[in-house]
Amino acid sequence: MSDDKIEKIRWDKNDLGAVKPELLDTFDYEYPGKDIMIKLETNEFGAVCPWSGLPDFGTILIEYIPDKLILELKSLKYYLYTFRSVGVYQEHVINRIFDDVKKKIKPKKIKITLTYNIRGGINTTVIRESK
| Residues marked as catalytic | 49, 56
- Cα-Cα-Cα-Cα torsion 124, 125, 126, 130, nearest 10 degrees, comes to -170
SS3 per residue for the chain: CCHHHHHCCCCCCECHHHCCHHHCCEEECCCCCCCCCEEEEEEEEEEECCCCCCEEEEEEEEEEECCCEEECHHHHHHHHHCCCCEECCHHHHHHHHHHHHHHHHCCCEEEEEEEEEEECCEEEEEEEECC
